[in-house]
A and B are shown apart, each in its own frame.
Chain A
Amino acid sequence: SAVISQKPSRDICQRGTSLTIQCQVDSQVTMMFWYRQQPGQSLTLIATANQGSEATYESGFVIDKFPISRPNLTFSTLTVSNMSPEDSSIYLCSVGLTGTLGDEQFFGPGTRLTVL
């Protein structure tokens, strides 16, 4: 398993500004993922961030809006740029690990973002 922390845990931001969310893992992992969970909704994958390569974005998400960094095997950041109220969501990072029963994901506690 893995212990994952995120900073900040929550924030309230003004429209037009940007927020960078940090994700720290207690062990080295290759695969990290960023998800968005809009109010009352399920999780939607934003991008996959593997160390040493550019992040891969899912349909509907672009690098200019959600730039991601992955400087090493234990850390990643997601920036929500030029925010609007529609960006109000919980943003979760997760890591992919291989256990005894194959691959699975472990999730961080999430960052609750409110945009005014």
Chain B
Amino acid sequence: AQSVTQLGSHVSVSEGALVLLRCNYSSSVPPYLFWYVQYPNQGLQLLLKYTSAATLVKGINGFEAEFKKSETSFHLTKPSAHMSDAAEYFCAVSPPYAGNMLTFGGGTRLMVKP
């Protein structure tokens, strides 16, 4: 069984500040890990994914995430927040080679203050 925990349902940062959204997973086998973003009134868009290749994964819009097996974490970061980054972010996990079978975390709403 797999599960994902996102620490902090709401995160607020100032424009230009570092964005850090936390995700911890539980899985009996090395998983695939994903970050999705959901802008208001839109569907989910894939930001990046880890599939057992490089542990530091770069995604779209300047986001990146690092897979840390020892910490069972896959935190999402961006060096400098932009107003357009305000959205809901979801971490998800799937079994390896089964990226279709997603289990989502509870989501983190990112707010960016001017």
Contacts and interface: CB of A to CB of B under 8 A. Distances in A.
B105 A102 contact: no
A58 B104 CA distance: 14
B104 A96 contact: no
A33 B90 CA distance: 17
Tell me whether chain A's interface is mostly helix, strand or loop, or mixed.
strand
B99 A105 contact: yes
Interface in A40-81: 41-45
B17 interface: no
A110 B43 contact: yes
Please tell me the size bucket of the interface on A: 20 to 34
Nearest to A108: B43
Contact of A92 (B43, B97, B99, B107): B43
Interface stretch (B22-30, B45-53, B62-70, B71-79): B45-53
A4 interface: yes
A107 B51 CA distance: 19
A42 B49 contact: no
Contacts of A41: 106-107
Contacts of A33: 100
Going nearest first, the 4 A-B pairs with the smallest beta carbon separation are A103-B99, A96-B100, A107-B43, A107-B44
Interface of B: 32, 34, 36, 41-46, 49, 51, 53, 90, 94, 97-100, 102, 104-107
11 contacts: A41-B106, A41-B107, A43-B90, A44-B104, A101-B53, A103-B94, A103-B98, A103-B99, A104-B100, A107-B43, A107-B44
